[in-house]
Structure 1
Amino acid sequence: MEPFPVSAVTLDLDDTLWPFAPIGARIERTLHAWMEQHSPQTAARFPIEEMRALRDCVVAEHPQHAHDLSLLRRLTIERALRDSGEDVALAEAAYAIFFAERNRVEFYPDAPDALRRIAARVPVAAVSNGNADLAAIGIHHHFRFQLGAREHGAAKPEPSIFHAACARLGVPPAHVLHVGDDIEMDVVGAASAGLRSCWINRDRLAWPHADVRPDLEFASLAALADWLDAHPSSAQEHVAA
Protein backbone atom coordinates (compact mmCIF):
# COMPACT_ATOMS: atom_id res chain seq x y z
CA MET A 1 0.00 0.00 0.00
CA GLU A 2 1.10 3.55 -0.73
CA PRO A 3 2.06 5.58 2.35
CA PHE A 4 -0.62 7.89 3.69
CA PRO A 5 -0.52 10.83 6.12
CA VAL A 6 -0.40 9.90 9.81
CA SER A 7 -0.59 13.04 11.93
CA ALA A 8 -1.47 11.22 15.16
CA VAL A 9 -2.06 7.74 16.54
CA THR A 10 -4.83 6.54 18.80
CA LEU A 11 -3.83 3.35 20.56
CA ASP A 12 -5.76 0.54 22.17
CA LEU A 13 -4.24 -0.89 25.37
CA ASP A 14 -5.41 -4.39 26.44
CA ASP A 15 -4.17 -7.11 24.07
CA THR A 16 -2.30 -4.48 22.07
CA LEU A 17 0.41 -3.43 24.54
CA TRP A 18 -0.03 -6.37 26.92
CA PRO A 19 -2.14 -9.55 27.09
CA PHE A 20 -5.17 -9.15 29.33
CA ALA A 21 -5.95 -12.81 30.12
CA PRO A 22 -3.10 -13.23 32.65
CA ILE A 23 -4.15 -9.99 34.34
CA GLY A 24 -7.77 -11.11 34.63
CA ALA A 25 -6.79 -14.47 36.10
CA ARG A 26 -4.43 -12.83 38.60
CA ILE A 27 -7.11 -10.33 39.64
CA GLU A 28 -9.49 -13.20 40.45
CA ARG A 29 -6.90 -15.09 42.50
CA THR A 30 -5.65 -12.05 44.39
CA LEU A 31 -9.11 -10.70 45.17
CA HIS A 32 -10.26 -14.11 46.38
CA ALA A 33 -7.20 -14.44 48.64
CA TRP A 34 -7.94 -10.98 50.06
CA MET A 35 -11.54 -11.97 50.71
CA GLU A 36 -10.41 -15.13 52.50
CA GLN A 37 -8.43 -12.99 54.90
CA HIS A 38 -10.70 -9.98 55.32
CA SER A 39 -14.19 -11.24 54.43
CA PRO A 40 -14.23 -15.04 54.84
CA GLN A 41 -17.99 -15.35 54.44
CA THR A 42 -17.73 -13.68 51.04
CA ALA A 43 -14.85 -15.93 50.00
CA ALA A 44 -16.87 -19.00 50.99
CA ARG A 45 -20.07 -17.80 49.32
CA PHE A 46 -18.32 -16.55 46.17
CA PRO A 47 -15.27 -18.60 45.16
CA ILE A 48 -13.66 -17.52 41.92
CA GLU A 49 -16.14 -19.12 39.52
CA GLU A 50 -19.12 -17.87 41.52
CA MET A 51 -17.67 -14.36 41.69
CA ARG A 52 -17.20 -14.46 37.93
CA ALA A 53 -20.83 -15.51 37.48
CA LEU A 54 -21.95 -12.74 39.82
CA ARG A 55 -20.05 -10.19 37.78
CA ASP A 56 -21.74 -11.45 34.60
CA CYS A 57 -25.08 -11.06 36.36
CA VAL A 58 -24.29 -7.50 37.46
CA VAL A 59 -23.21 -6.60 33.92
CA ALA A 60 -26.46 -8.00 32.51
CA GLU A 61 -28.50 -6.06 35.07
CA HIS A 62 -26.84 -2.72 34.28
CA PRO A 63 -26.58 -2.40 30.47
CA GLN A 64 -26.58 1.38 30.85
CA HIS A 65 -23.16 1.07 32.51
CA ALA A 66 -21.63 -1.32 29.97
CA HIS A 67 -19.00 1.32 29.14
CA ASP A 68 -17.91 1.69 32.79
CA LEU A 69 -16.01 -1.44 33.79
CA SER A 70 -14.74 0.14 36.99
CA LEU A 71 -18.25 0.83 38.22
CA LEU A 72 -19.38 -2.69 37.30
CA ARG A 73 -16.46 -4.12 39.27
CA ARG A 74 -17.37 -2.00 42.31
CA LEU A 75 -21.02 -3.04 42.07
CA THR A 76 -19.99 -6.69 41.90
CA ILE A 77 -17.81 -6.43 44.99
CA GLU A 78 -20.54 -4.61 46.90
CA ARG A 79 -23.14 -7.21 45.89
CA ALA A 80 -20.86 -10.07 46.95
CA LEU A 81 -20.25 -8.50 50.35
CA ARG A 82 -23.93 -7.72 50.87
CA ASP A 83 -25.20 -11.13 49.75
CA SER A 84 -22.74 -12.91 52.02
CA GLY A 85 -23.70 -10.84 55.06
CA GLU A 86 -20.40 -9.00 55.29
CA ASP A 87 -19.69 -5.28 55.72
CA VAL A 88 -20.20 -3.44 52.42
CA ALA A 89 -17.73 -0.82 53.66
CA LEU A 90 -14.99 -3.34 52.82
CA ALA A 91 -15.67 -2.70 49.14
CA GLU A 92 -13.31 0.28 48.99
CA ALA A 93 -10.32 -1.72 50.21
CA ALA A 94 -11.24 -4.66 47.98
CA TYR A 95 -11.45 -2.37 44.96
CA ALA A 96 -8.00 -1.00 45.79
CA ILE A 97 -6.69 -4.57 45.57
CA PHE A 98 -8.37 -4.94 42.18
CA PHE A 99 -6.94 -1.62 40.95
CA ALA A 100 -3.39 -2.53 41.92
CA GLU A 101 -3.55 -5.90 40.15
CA ARG A 102 -5.34 -4.43 37.13
CA ASN A 103 -2.41 -2.14 36.53
CA ARG A 104 0.36 -4.66 37.10
CA VAL A 105 0.86 -5.54 33.46
CA GLU A 106 3.40 -7.63 31.56
CA PHE A 107 4.04 -6.03 28.19
CA TYR A 108 4.46 -7.93 24.98
CA PRO A 109 8.26 -8.01 24.54
CA ASP A 110 8.24 -5.60 21.60
CA ALA A 111 5.71 -3.14 22.99
CA PRO A 112 7.64 -0.79 25.32
CA ASP A 113 10.32 0.14 22.81
CA ALA A 114 7.83 0.28 19.94
CA LEU A 115 5.61 2.63 21.95
CA ARG A 116 8.61 4.87 22.66
CA ARG A 117 9.53 4.96 18.96
CA ILE A 118 5.99 5.71 17.80
CA ALA A 119 5.49 8.46 20.38
CA ALA A 120 8.76 10.07 19.27
CA ARG A 121 7.33 10.43 15.74
CA VAL A 122 3.67 11.41 16.24
CA PRO A 123 1.32 12.39 19.07
CA VAL A 124 -0.23 9.28 20.67
CA ALA A 125 -3.49 9.08 22.60
CA ALA A 126 -4.84 6.01 24.39
CA VAL A 127 -8.41 5.09 23.42
CA SER A 128 -9.64 2.10 25.37
CA ASN A 129 -12.79 0.40 26.58
CA GLY A 130 -10.85 -0.98 29.55
CA ASN A 131 -9.91 0.57 32.87
CA ALA A 132 -6.13 0.47 32.82
CA ASP A 133 -4.45 3.54 34.32
CA LEU A 134 -1.43 4.76 32.36
CA ALA A 135 0.00 6.69 35.29
CA ALA A 136 -0.23 3.67 37.59
CA ILE A 137 1.42 1.52 34.92
CA GLY A 138 4.12 4.13 34.39
CA ILE A 139 3.80 4.88 30.67
CA HIS A 140 1.66 8.02 30.71
CA HIS A 141 4.60 10.16 29.49
CA HIS A 142 4.30 8.55 26.05
CA PHE A 143 0.70 9.76 25.61
CA ARG A 144 -0.91 13.14 25.03
CA PHE A 145 -3.95 11.89 26.95
CA GLN A 146 -5.98 8.82 27.81
CA LEU A 147 -9.63 8.61 26.75
CA GLY A 148 -11.55 5.72 28.26
CA ALA A 149 -15.07 4.57 27.56
CA ARG A 150 -16.01 5.40 31.16
CA GLU A 151 -14.89 9.03 30.85
CA HIS A 152 -16.38 9.47 27.40
CA GLY A 153 -19.71 7.80 28.16
CA ALA A 154 -19.64 5.35 25.25
CA ALA A 155 -17.36 2.52 24.19
CA LYS A 156 -15.67 1.50 20.97
CA PRO A 157 -16.84 0.83 18.28
CA GLU A 158 -19.10 3.89 18.72
CA PRO A 159 -17.80 6.60 16.36
CA SER A 160 -18.15 9.29 19.04
CA ILE A 161 -15.21 8.07 21.13
CA PHE A 162 -12.93 8.11 18.09
CA HIS A 163 -14.17 11.56 17.08
CA ALA A 164 -13.66 12.88 20.62
CA ALA A 165 -10.05 11.69 20.56
CA CYS A 166 -9.44 13.31 17.16
CA ALA A 167 -10.94 16.58 18.40
CA ARG A 168 -8.65 16.60 21.44
CA LEU A 169 -5.67 15.85 19.22
CA GLY A 170 -6.68 18.64 16.85
CA VAL A 171 -6.30 16.31 13.88
CA PRO A 172 -8.99 15.34 11.32
CA PRO A 173 -10.01 11.66 11.50
CA ALA A 174 -8.60 10.89 8.05
CA HIS A 175 -5.10 11.74 9.33
CA VAL A 176 -5.39 9.72 12.55
CA LEU A 177 -4.26 6.08 12.63
CA HIS A 178 -6.06 3.94 15.18
CA VAL A 179 -4.04 0.93 16.30
CA GLY A 180 -5.50 -2.09 18.05
CA ASP A 181 -5.99 -5.83 18.17
CA ASP A 182 -9.77 -6.16 18.09
CA ILE A 183 -11.34 -6.65 14.68
CA GLU A 184 -14.70 -5.08 15.49
CA MET A 185 -13.89 -2.60 18.25
CA ASP A 186 -10.66 -1.27 16.78
CA VAL A 187 -10.49 -1.84 13.03
CA VAL A 188 -14.15 -1.76 11.98
CA GLY A 189 -14.92 0.89 14.59
CA ALA A 190 -12.12 3.18 13.47
CA ALA A 191 -12.93 2.71 9.80
CA SER A 192 -16.59 3.52 10.44
CA ALA A 193 -15.53 6.72 12.19
CA GLY A 194 -13.37 7.80 9.25
CA LEU A 195 -9.98 7.04 10.78
CA ARG A 196 -7.20 4.99 9.25
CA SER A 197 -6.73 1.66 11.00
CA CYS A 198 -3.86 -0.65 11.88
CA TRP A 199 -4.64 -4.19 12.98
CA ILE A 200 -2.10 -5.68 15.40
CA ASN A 201 -2.67 -9.32 14.53
CA ARG A 202 -0.30 -11.13 16.87
CA ASP A 203 -2.15 -14.44 16.44
CA ARG A 204 -2.03 -14.18 12.63
CA LEU A 205 -5.76 -14.64 12.25
CA ALA A 206 -7.57 -14.49 8.93
CA TRP A 207 -9.42 -11.25 8.23
CA PRO A 208 -13.18 -12.04 8.30
CA HIS A 209 -14.78 -9.12 6.42
CA ALA A 210 -15.07 -8.50 2.71
CA ASP A 211 -16.42 -4.93 2.88
CA VAL A 212 -13.79 -3.35 5.13
CA ARG A 213 -10.11 -4.02 5.69
CA PRO A 214 -7.42 -2.47 7.89
CA ASP A 215 -5.19 0.07 6.19
CA LEU A 216 -2.21 -1.65 7.82
CA GLU A 217 -1.74 -5.07 9.38
CA PHE A 218 1.25 -6.18 11.44
CA ALA A 219 2.04 -9.05 13.78
CA SER A 220 3.64 -6.71 16.32
CA LEU A 221 3.70 -3.10 17.41
CA ALA A 222 7.40 -3.04 16.52
CA ALA A 223 6.48 -3.64 12.88
CA LEU A 224 4.28 -0.54 12.94
CA ALA A 225 7.17 1.48 14.39
CA ASP A 226 9.34 0.13 11.57
CA TRP A 227 6.73 1.21 9.00
CA LEU A 228 6.63 4.74 10.44
CA ASP A 229 10.43 4.88 10.37
CA ALA A 230 10.43 3.71 6.74
CA HIS A 231 7.87 6.37 5.74
CA PRO A 232 8.98 9.48 7.63
CA SER A 233 7.04 11.83 5.38
CA SER A 234 3.81 10.08 6.39
CA ALA A 235 4.52 10.72 10.07
CA GLN A 236 5.46 14.39 9.83
CA GLU A 237 2.21 15.96 8.70
CA HIS A 238 1.43 17.18 12.23
CA VAL A 239 4.55 19.37 12.25
CA ALA A 240 3.07 21.65 9.60
CA ALA A 241 -0.48 21.55 10.93
Structure 2
Amino acid sequence: MQTIRAITLDLDDTLWPFAPIGARIEQTLHAWFETHSAETARMFPPAAMQTLREQVVEAHPDLAHDMTRLRKLTIERALKDSGADVALAADAYAQFFMVRNQIEFYAGAREALETLAAHLPLCSLSNGNADLDAIGIGHLFVSRVGAREFGAAKPDPRIFHHACSLLGEAPENVLHIGDDLAADVHGAQAAGMPVCWIHPAPRQAGVADYQFDSLADFADAFVRARSKDA
Protein backbone atom coordinates (compact mmCIF):
# COMPACT_ATOMS: atom_id res chain seq x y z
CA MET A 1 0.00 0.00 0.00
CA GLN A 2 1.11 3.55 -0.72
CA THR A 3 2.28 5.84 2.07
CA ILE A 4 -0.68 6.56 4.33
CA ARG A 5 -0.21 8.77 7.35
CA ALA A 6 -3.82 9.17 8.47
CA ILE A 7 -7.32 7.94 7.68
CA THR A 8 -10.69 9.63 7.29
CA LEU A 9 -13.57 7.24 7.79
CA ASP A 10 -17.22 7.23 6.85
CA LEU A 11 -19.63 5.84 9.45
CA ASP A 12 -23.09 4.72 8.24
CA ASP A 13 -22.93 1.65 5.97
CA THR A 14 -19.16 1.48 6.45
CA LEU A 15 -18.97 0.57 10.15
CA TRP A 16 -22.59 -0.51 10.55
CA PRO A 17 -25.67 -0.90 8.33
CA PHE A 18 -28.05 2.02 8.52
CA ALA A 19 -31.21 0.35 7.15
CA PRO A 20 -32.11 -1.50 10.40
CA ILE A 21 -31.44 1.68 12.38
CA GLY A 22 -33.76 3.63 10.10
CA ALA A 23 -36.51 1.04 10.50
CA ARG A 24 -36.21 1.11 14.31
CA ILE A 25 -36.29 4.91 14.29
CA GLU A 26 -39.61 5.00 12.46
CA GLN A 27 -41.13 2.31 14.68
CA THR A 28 -39.94 4.02 17.86
CA LEU A 29 -41.18 7.45 16.80
CA HIS A 30 -44.56 6.04 15.83
CA ALA A 31 -44.92 4.28 19.17
CA TRP A 32 -43.93 7.49 20.95
CA PHE A 33 -46.54 9.48 19.04
CA GLU A 34 -49.20 6.85 19.83
CA THR A 35 -48.55 7.49 23.53
CA HIS A 36 -48.02 11.26 23.51
CA SER A 37 -49.93 12.52 20.46
CA ALA A 38 -52.45 10.02 19.16
CA GLU A 39 -53.68 12.24 16.34
CA THR A 40 -50.14 12.66 15.03
CA ALA A 41 -49.70 8.89 15.06
CA ARG A 42 -53.01 8.47 13.22
CA MET A 43 -52.19 11.05 10.54
CA PHE A 44 -48.56 10.03 10.14
CA PRO A 45 -47.95 6.30 10.35
CA PRO A 46 -44.38 5.37 9.32
CA ALA A 47 -45.03 5.45 5.56
CA ALA A 48 -46.73 8.84 5.76
CA MET A 49 -43.97 10.16 8.00
CA GLN A 50 -41.40 9.10 5.43
CA THR A 51 -43.33 10.94 2.72
CA LEU A 52 -43.49 14.02 4.92
CA ARG A 53 -39.75 13.85 5.53
CA GLU A 54 -39.12 13.70 1.78
CA GLN A 55 -41.31 16.78 1.35
CA VAL A 56 -39.39 18.64 4.04
CA VAL A 57 -36.06 17.71 2.44
CA GLU A 58 -37.31 18.92 -0.94
CA ALA A 59 -38.54 22.17 0.57
CA HIS A 60 -35.19 22.91 2.23
CA PRO A 61 -32.36 22.26 -0.23
CA ASP A 62 -30.25 24.68 1.79
CA LEU A 63 -30.30 22.14 4.65
CA ALA A 64 -29.21 19.11 2.60
CA HIS A 65 -26.08 18.90 4.76
CA ASP A 66 -27.99 19.01 8.07
CA MET A 67 -29.78 15.72 8.78
CA THR A 68 -30.48 16.79 12.35
CA ARG A 69 -32.33 19.96 11.40
CA LEU A 70 -34.29 18.17 8.69
CA ARG A 71 -35.41 15.50 11.16
CA LYS A 72 -36.47 18.13 13.70
CA LEU A 73 -38.39 20.06 11.05
CA THR A 74 -40.19 16.88 10.01
CA ILE A 75 -41.24 16.15 13.59
CA GLU A 76 -42.39 19.74 14.11
CA ARG A 77 -44.36 19.67 10.86
CA ALA A 78 -46.09 16.41 11.80
CA LEU A 79 -47.10 17.81 15.16
CA LYS A 80 -48.31 21.10 13.68
CA ASP A 81 -50.28 19.48 10.85
CA SER A 82 -52.01 17.15 13.31
CA GLY A 83 -52.95 19.98 15.65
CA ALA A 84 -50.62 18.82 18.41
CA ASP A 85 -48.32 20.83 20.64
CA VAL A 86 -45.14 21.57 18.68
CA ALA A 87 -43.30 21.78 22.01
CA LEU A 88 -43.44 17.97 22.05
CA ALA A 89 -40.84 17.95 19.28
CA ALA A 90 -37.91 18.09 21.70
CA ASP A 91 -38.96 14.90 23.48
CA ALA A 92 -39.76 13.18 20.19
CA TYR A 93 -36.33 14.06 18.83
CA ALA A 94 -34.73 12.71 21.99
CA GLN A 95 -36.38 9.37 21.24
CA PHE A 96 -35.04 9.53 17.69
CA PHE A 97 -31.52 10.31 18.84
CA MET A 98 -31.46 7.48 21.37
CA VAL A 99 -32.40 4.90 18.73
CA ARG A 100 -30.16 6.56 16.13
CA ASN A 101 -27.15 5.59 18.20
CA GLN A 102 -28.17 2.01 18.94
CA ILE A 103 -26.06 0.42 16.24
CA GLU A 104 -24.84 -3.06 15.41
CA PHE A 105 -21.38 -3.15 13.85
CA TYR A 106 -20.66 -5.18 10.77
CA ALA A 107 -18.79 -8.36 11.66
CA GLY A 108 -15.25 -7.47 12.71
CA ALA A 109 -15.74 -3.74 12.11
CA ARG A 110 -15.18 -2.58 15.68
CA GLU A 111 -12.05 -4.71 16.02
CA ALA A 112 -10.84 -3.37 12.66
CA LEU A 113 -11.44 0.17 13.87
CA GLU A 114 -9.40 -0.48 17.00
CA THR A 115 -6.61 -2.00 14.91
CA LEU A 116 -6.44 0.98 12.55
CA ALA A 117 -6.58 3.46 15.44
CA ALA A 118 -3.55 1.76 16.98
CA HIS A 119 -1.53 2.41 13.82
CA LEU A 120 -2.74 5.75 12.44
CA PRO A 121 -4.76 8.80 13.51
CA LEU A 122 -8.41 8.51 12.49
CA CYS A 123 -10.91 11.25 11.67
CA SER A 124 -14.59 10.44 11.23
CA LEU A 125 -16.08 12.10 8.14
CA SER A 126 -19.84 11.75 7.91
CA ASN A 127 -22.91 13.33 6.37
CA GLY A 128 -25.00 11.75 9.12
CA ASN A 129 -25.59 12.53 12.77
CA ALA A 130 -24.32 9.51 14.68
CA ASP A 131 -22.81 10.31 18.09
CA LEU A 132 -19.48 8.51 18.46
CA ASP A 133 -19.42 8.96 22.23
CA ALA A 134 -22.93 7.56 22.65
CA ILE A 135 -21.92 4.60 20.51
CA GLY A 136 -18.76 4.12 22.56
CA ILE A 137 -16.03 4.64 19.96
CA GLY A 138 -15.27 8.33 20.31
CA HIS A 139 -11.91 7.62 21.94
CA LEU A 140 -10.67 5.93 18.76
CA PHE A 141 -10.81 9.15 16.72
CA VAL A 142 -8.44 12.09 17.04
CA SER A 143 -10.90 14.37 15.24
CA ARG A 144 -14.44 14.38 13.86
CA VAL A 145 -16.00 16.17 10.91
CA GLY A 146 -19.75 16.26 10.35
CA ALA A 147 -21.54 17.85 7.41
CA ARG A 148 -23.89 19.70 9.72
CA GLU A 149 -21.12 21.37 11.71
CA PHE A 150 -18.95 22.05 8.67
CA GLY A 151 -21.76 23.48 6.56
CA ALA A 152 -21.34 21.27 3.49
CA ALA A 153 -21.65 17.57 2.81
CA LYS A 154 -19.65 14.96 0.96
CA PRO A 155 -18.81 14.85 -1.93
CA ASP A 156 -17.85 18.53 -1.61
CA PRO A 157 -14.01 18.48 -1.64
CA ARG A 158 -13.93 21.22 1.01
CA ILE A 159 -15.14 18.90 3.76
CA PHE A 160 -12.39 16.40 2.90
CA HIS A 161 -9.76 19.14 2.91
CA HIS A 162 -11.03 20.32 6.30
CA ALA A 163 -10.62 16.82 7.71
CA CYS A 164 -7.08 16.62 6.32
CA SER A 165 -6.22 19.96 7.92
CA LEU A 166 -7.43 18.70 11.29
CA LEU A 167 -5.19 15.67 10.86
CA GLY A 168 -2.27 17.92 9.89
CA GLU A 169 -1.62 16.02 6.68
CA ALA A 170 -1.71 16.76 2.96
CA PRO A 171 -4.65 15.12 1.14
CA GLU A 172 -2.37 12.77 -0.80
CA ASN A 173 -1.23 11.24 2.50
CA VAL A 174 -4.72 10.71 3.95
CA LEU A 175 -6.73 7.65 2.94
CA HIS A 176 -10.50 8.02 2.92
CA ILE A 177 -12.56 4.89 3.55
CA GLY A 178 -16.26 4.72 2.74
CA ASP A 179 -19.05 2.82 1.05
CA ASP A 180 -20.76 5.42 -1.14
CA LEU A 181 -19.46 5.72 -4.69
CA ALA A 182 -20.49 9.35 -5.17
CA ALA A 183 -20.09 10.79 -1.68
CA ASP A 184 -17.01 8.85 -0.59
CA VAL A 185 -15.10 7.66 -3.63
CA HIS A 186 -15.71 10.53 -6.04
CA GLY A 187 -15.60 13.09 -3.25
CA ALA A 188 -12.23 11.92 -1.94
CA GLN A 189 -10.80 11.70 -5.44
CA ALA A 190 -11.90 15.27 -6.19
CA ALA A 191 -10.09 16.31 -3.01
CA GLY A 192 -6.87 14.62 -4.17
CA MET A 193 -7.01 11.80 -1.63
CA PRO A 194 -6.45 8.08 -2.09
CA VAL A 195 -9.62 6.15 -1.35
CA CYS A 196 -10.70 2.70 -0.22
CA TRP A 197 -14.16 1.72 -1.42
CA ILE A 198 -15.93 -0.67 0.95
CA HIS A 199 -18.47 -2.64 -1.04
CA PRO A 200 -19.30 -6.25 -1.85
CA ALA A 201 -17.58 -7.94 -4.78
CA PRO A 202 -17.39 -8.02 -7.76
CA ARG A 203 -14.62 -5.47 -8.05
CA GLN A 204 -14.81 -2.59 -10.51
CA ALA A 205 -11.43 -2.00 -12.10
CA GLY A 206 -10.00 1.50 -11.83
CA VAL A 207 -12.76 2.91 -9.64
CA ALA A 208 -10.78 3.32 -6.40
CA ASP A 209 -7.25 2.80 -5.13
CA TYR A 210 -8.43 -0.08 -2.95
CA GLN A 211 -11.61 -2.12 -2.82
CA PHE A 212 -12.63 -4.46 -0.01
CA ASP A 213 -15.79 -6.24 1.05
CA SER A 214 -15.54 -4.86 4.57
CA LEU A 215 -13.50 -2.68 6.90
CA ALA A 216 -12.31 -5.87 8.59
CA ASP A 217 -10.84 -7.13 5.30
CA PHE A 218 -9.13 -3.79 4.71
CA ALA A 219 -7.63 -3.75 8.22
CA ASP A 220 -6.25 -7.27 7.76
CA ALA A 221 -4.62 -6.29 4.46
CA PHE A 222 -3.31 -3.05 5.97
CA VAL A 223 -1.66 -4.80 8.91
CA ARG A 224 -0.10 -7.41 6.60
CA ALA A 225 1.30 -4.67 4.36
CA ARG A 226 2.70 -2.76 7.33
CA SER A 227 4.34 -5.89 8.70
CA LYS A 228 5.94 -6.61 5.33
CA ASP A 229 7.29 -3.06 5.07
CA ALA A 230 8.62 -3.03 8.65
Aligned-partner SS, 1:232 = helix
Mapped pair 1:204 → 2:201: yes
C-alpha separation in 2, matches of 1:235 and 1:87: 62
Which deviates more, 217-226 or 40-49? 217-226
In the other structure, the counterpart of 1:227 is 221
> Please, what TM-score do these two structures have when normalized by structure 1?
0.92
Asked if the contact 1:14/1:20 (under 8 Å) is kept, the reply is yes
Match for 1:217 among 211, 221, 227?
211
Letter in 2 for 1:47: P
In the other structure, the counterpart of 1:20 is 18
Letter in 2 for 1:190: A
Aligned-partner SS, 1:217 = strand
Q: CA deviation at 1:35?
A: 0.2
Letter in 2 for 1:133: D
Aligned-partner SS, 2:226 = coil
C-alpha separation in 2, matches of 1:48 and 1:228: 42
Q: CA deviation at 1:213?
A: 1.9
C-alpha separation in 1, matches of 2:191 and 2:102: 32
Asked if the contact 1:81/1:87 (under 8 Å) is kept, the reply is yes
Match for 2:111 among 110, 113, 130?
113
Paired residues, number: 230
Cα gap change, 1:233/1:6 in structure 2, threshold over 3 Å: closer, same or farther?
Answer: farther
C-alpha separation in 2, matches of 1:66 and 1:46: 23
Q: CA deviation at 1:205?
A: 4.8
Letter in 2 for 1:123: P
Aligned-partner SS, 1:231 = helix
In the other structure, the counterpart of 1:132 is 130
C-alpha separation in 2, matches of 1:27 and 1:95: 10
What is the 5 A alignment of 1:162-177? 162-177=160-175
Asked if the contact 2:107/2:216 (under 8 Å) is kept, the reply is no
Asked if the contact 1:178/1:196 (under 8 Å) is kept, the reply is yes
In the other structure, the counterpart of 1:239 is none
What is the 5 A alignment of 1:1-241? 3-201=1-199, 203-205=200-202, 207=204, 213-232=207-226
Letter in 1 for 2:219: A
State the Cα RMSD in Å.
Answer: 1.5
Letter in 1 for 2:201: R
Q: CA deviation at 1:206?
A: 5.0
Asked if the contact 2:203/2:211 (under 8 Å) is kept, the reply is no
> Please, what TM-score do these two structures have when normalized by structure 2?
0.97
C-alpha separation in 2, matches of 1:33 and 1:181: 32
Q: Percent identity?
A: 57
Q: CA deviation at 1:64?
A: 0.1
Deviating 4+ runs (over 4 angstroms): 233-236
C-alpha separation in 1, matches of 2:97 and 2:229: 35
Unpaired segments ≥5 residues, structure 2: none
